[in-house]
Amino acid sequence: MQLNGKSVSRETAQKLEHFAALFQKWAKTINLVAPSTLNELWSRHIADSAQIYQASPGPFHWVDLGSGGGFPGIITAILLSEHQDGWVDLVESNQKKAAFLRVALSETGARGAVHPIRIEAATAKIPTCDRISARALADLDLLFDYTAPWLVGTETRAFFHKGRDYLSEVEKARGRWRFDLLEHASAVERDSVILEIGDLKHG
């Protein structure tokens, strides 16, 4: 199987296919993503989510915020299983979505755990990590409020999916924060990017 032009093993492909089947089943009763995008599960959600891991491959410890239907957290956790190392802590306060995420991890053998708590409480439970991800969660300024305990004064890097208006979010965030920024063009959605953030500082 190819994801964004990069090969994954047969075993990983089977795990992704099993996740997709689980997702379609649960999405009939739980609003995991916008219903209008269900028919684009592989391109709009799975391949798009895989870009996060592909932007920083390796056996890292990830924290995925607002994991929702598992994007990108479950996809990262499945791709990490090729390493037999690394981990994803998925933070999702919605109990029904958290239940789905637990089943998805269990049935795919992905490398992760679910924390059904609010993001503000997550740093007490998960004090450190190597990488942070979030997709369709909040604007950049608010994401920095959420992630500052992990990012400020550390080597941790964050990866955020953003749409075509991302430059205005970056400009707004620079009013309160200083940070290193790398832009990864989306291989899936035109005008979208993955923002890689490092060396976050207040003010």
Element (H, E) at 21: helix 10-26
Task: Count the domains in the chain.
Answer: 1
Q: How far is the first Cα of the chain from the last one, in angstroms, to the nearest whole number?
A: 45
**pLDDT tens digits, 125-143:** 999 999 999 998 999 999 9
Q: Are 125 and 148 contacting, i.e. CB atoms less than 8 angstroms apart?
A: no
Element (H, E) at 2: strand 2-3
Give the C-alpha distances (Å, rounded to integers) separating 85 from 55, 94, 111, 116: 17, 27, 8, 23
Query: Residue 5: pLDDT above 90?
Result: no
**pLDDT tens digits, 63-104:** 999 999 999 999 999 999 988 899 999 999 999 999 999 999
Which CATH number goes with the domain that contains 111? Answer: 3.40.50.150
Query: Residue 148: pLDDT above 90?
Result: yes
Q: Residue 32's domain spans which residues?
A: 2-202
Q: Are 192 and 164 contacting, i.e. CB atoms less than 8 angstroms apart?
A: yes
Please tell me whether the overall predicted TM-score, pTM, comes out greater than 0.75 for this model: yes
